Amino acid sequence: MKVKMSEDRIQIKGMKFFGRHGVTEDEQSLGQRIEVDVEVEVDLEPSGRSDDPKLTVDYALVYELTKQVVEGESVRLLETLGQRIADILIDKLGVDSVWVKVAKPNPPIHGSIIGYVAIEVQRDK
């Protein structure tokens, strides 16, 4: 019997936090805005048919877990921050797959104006 892999997703985009992440001393001491988008792969059919919130992912919990990581311990790399967010979401939500985008809207890069720098990670259980 073949198990159906879900193609359903919950997206939470544009979460904004304040974190002290980066390679430079100023980034670590002063901090900056960090923006995060999350996509969680989950079968939405049971909740869609029943209208039961217990059968889906709690959006507020996704936000709180992401906030906990971003506003928590400082790291140097966005890659590390993305990995930690993916790890906690998979662990605490019990989902099989997450996609995380972490962006710095105002990176400390001298030269031409940059809209933002970002990383994206896709992690499976």
List all residues 6 or more positions away from 76 whose beta carbon is below 8 Å from its beta carbon: 21, 22, 23
- Per-residue tokens: 75: 């790291």
Catalytic, out of 13, 54, 67, 104: 104
Query: What is the arrangement of strands in the sheet containing 32-41, beginning at the earlier edge strand?
Result: 9-19, 32-41, 97-104, 117-124
Task: Clarify whether 104 is annotated catalytic.
Answer: yes
Main-chain phi, psi angles of 22, to 5 degrees: 150, 170
Q: Which residues pair with 97 in a beta bridge?
A: 41, 124
Which tokens in the block code for residue 21?
């992440």
User: Which residues are known to be catalytic?
Assistant: 104
